[in-house]
Copies of this chain bind each other. A is one copy, B any other.
Amino acid sequence: MSAKVRLYVDHPLGAGQSVPLDRDQAHYLFGVMRLAVGAAVALFNGRDGEWQAEVAEAGKRGGVLACVAQSKPLQLPPDLWLLFAPIKKARTDFIVEKAAEMGAARILPVATDFTNSERIRQDRLQAHAVEAAEQCGGTYVPEVTELQKLAALLDHWPADRQLMFCDEAEVGQRLFLDSADSGAAAGPWAILIGPEGGFSPAERKRLHAMPHTHVVSLGPRILRADTAAVAAMTLWQHTLGDW
């Protein structure tokens, strides 16, 4: 592939399709990356795979790209949700970036009993997921949902979705998903990473009692939430996912 720039656009892609650029995109392609008419750009929109395109018009406030040929089919990640309790800003950004790289289908910030952060900027986190998808060569962008209460999410937990519960109180207690867990590989899954202060006793009791919960330990050292997120997604992808 000759394109050095890879861009997410919210526009249909296909043979002969023209893709208009907004001001920010034009600034990035023509101001920052210094592309001229005829230059190659790789595009994806999360639905139509990856397309090689050429700059057809370049301006300060906009421009047009012309799709040339599809370079990758759409590759959806496994149906894996990542639930995590927001932590400090930089580490929350990091978790979203890593979830997109590692191949989560959906990213759900949840407020737990011991969560300190009351608010998130959903739009900013979604932009991080887009940027990570641009970087990692993915053709899919996971949706980042608004912050919701963990208890409310569990109230309406989908009956067919398995839950990998990374309980730091179980440090060193158990290795990982066993073959019985693997039997549930076909269906949808979610991974739940706790906040820095851990889960409350009430939350732990409820999570342990749920029929689709799989309690997992992430080794003998206590991992920060961002490390735990990457480690848990690695184990899941390796055992049950698309690695």
Contact = CB atoms under 8 A, between A and B. Distances in A.
A123 interface: no
Nearest to A139: B221
B221 A138 contact: yes
B237 A102 contact: no
Name which of A176, A222, A231 has the most chain B CB atoms within 10 A of its CB.
Answer: A231
Copies in the complex: 2
Contact of A234 (B136, B137, B224, B235): B235
Interface in A196-243: 217-224, 227, 230-231, 234-235, 237-238, 241-243
A242 to B, nearest CB: 6
Given A227-B101, A227-B230, A231-B102, A175 B220 contact: no
Nearest to A175: B243
B137 A221 contact: yes
A63 interface: no
Nearest to A196: B135
A237 B172 CA distance: 12
A75 interface: yes
A81 to B, nearest CB: 17
A13 to B, nearest CB: 19
A103 interface: yes
Q: Is the contact region of chain A dominated by helix, strand, or loop, or is it mixed? A: loop
Given A230-B231, A235-B234, A221 B176 contact: no
A222 B103 contact: no
A167 B138 CA distance: 18
B219 A103 contact: yes
Contact of A175 (B94, B230, B235, B238): B238
24 contacts: A75-B220, A94-B94, A98-B227, A101-B227, A102-B221, A102-B231, A103-B219, A103-B220, A103-B221, A136-B223, A138-B221, A175-B238, A176-B238, A176-B243, A219-B237, A219-B241, A219-B242, A219-B243, A227-B230, A230-B230, A230-B234, A231-B231, A234-B235, A238-B238
